[in-house]
Amino acid sequence: MESADARKSALTEWLYSTCNLKGFKLTSLAGDASFRRYFRLHFDNHSFIAMDAPPPKENCRPFVSIANALSHIGLSTPSVAQHDVERGFLLLSDFGDATYLSILRSDNASELYTNALNALAILSQCQYVPDHVIPPFTADFMYKEWEWYKEWFLDKWLGMNLQNEAHALDDCYKLIVQSAVQQPQVFMHRDFHSANLMHLSEEADVKRVGILDFQDAFIGPLTYDLASLLRDCYIAWPDDNVRSWALYYREILSQQNRLNIDEQTFLRWFDWMSVQRHLKALMTFARKQVRDQQPNYLQHIPRTLNYLLMVSERYVELKPLHDFLLLRVLPKVQQVMSCEQ
* 257 and 333 housed in the same domain: yes
Query: What are 20-79's pLDDT values in tens digits?
Result: 888 888 888 876 656 889 999 988 888 999 999 988 888 999 999 999 999 999 999 999
Instruction: Report the pLDDT value the prediction gives residue 33, as an integer from 0 to 100.
Output: 55
Q: Are residues 84 and 163 in the same domain?
A: no
CATH number of the CATH domain containing 24: 3.30.200.20
Q: Are residues 9 and 89 in the same domain?
A: yes
What average pLDDT is seen over the chain? Answer: 94
Q: Please indicate, yes or no, whether residues 117 and 72 belong to a single structural domain of this protein.
A: no
Confidence class for position 112, pLDDT limits 50, 70, 90: very high
Asked whether the predicted pLDDT for residue 158 surpasses 70, the reply is yes
Question: Domain with 318 in it: what CATH number?
Answer: 3.90.1200.10
At 107, the pLDDT band (50, 70, 90 cuts) reads very high
Answer with the residue of higher pLDDT: 187 or 34. 187
Assess whether 105 and 65 both reside in one domain. Answer: no
Cβ contact 295:286 at 8 Å? no
Predicted confidence (pLDDT) per residue in 307-324, tens digit: 999 999 999 999 999 999
Distances (CA, A) of 114 to 35, 248, 271, 321: 32, 8, 20, 32
Q: Where are the alpha helices (DSSP H) in the chain?
A: 4-17, 61-72, 100-103, 109-123, 139-148, 166-182, 224-230, 239-255, 263-290, 301-312, 319-324, 330-340
Model pLDDT for residues 89-102, shown as the tens digit of each residue: 999 999 999 999 99
User: Which residue, of 39, 62, 93, is where some domain finishes?
Assistant: 93
Greater confidence, 127 or 189?
A: 189
Map residue 219 onto helix, strand or coil.
strand
The per-residue pLDDT for range 197-235, each reduced to its tens digit, is 999 988 888 999 999 999 999 999 999 999 999 999 999
Specify whether 106 is located in the same domain as 237: yes
pLDDT at 278 over 90: yes
pLDDT at 222: 98
Q: Of 1, 322, 31, 337, which Cα lies nearest the Cα of 165?
A: 322
pLDDT tens per residue across span 229-266: 999 999 999 999 999 999 999 999 999 999 999 999 99
In a 13 Å sphere around the CA of 138, the CA atoms on its Cβ side amount to 6
User: Average of pLDDT values for 119-127?
Assistant: 96
Number of domains in the chain: 2
Could you tell me if 214 and 276 lie in one domain? yes
CA 79, CA 92: separation in Å to the nearest integer? 6
Same domain, 254 and 189: yes
87 and 157 part of one domain:
no
* Domain coverage including residue 14: 4-93
**Listed residues 93, 114, 141: the one ending a domain:** 93
How sure is the predictor about 1, in pLDDT bands with cuts at 50, 70 and 90?
A: low
Q: Are residues 85 and 154 located together in one domain of the fold?
A: no
Q: What mean pLDDT is predicted for residues 168-191?
A: 98
Same domain, 145 and 195: yes
Question: Do 159 and 72 lie in a common domain?
Answer: no
Q: Which one of 93, 112, 146 terminates a domain?
A: 93
Q: Percentage of residues in the chain with pLDDT exceeding 70?
A: 98
Stretch 102-126: mean pLDDT: 97
Q: What is the mean pLDDT of residues 128-138?
A: 95
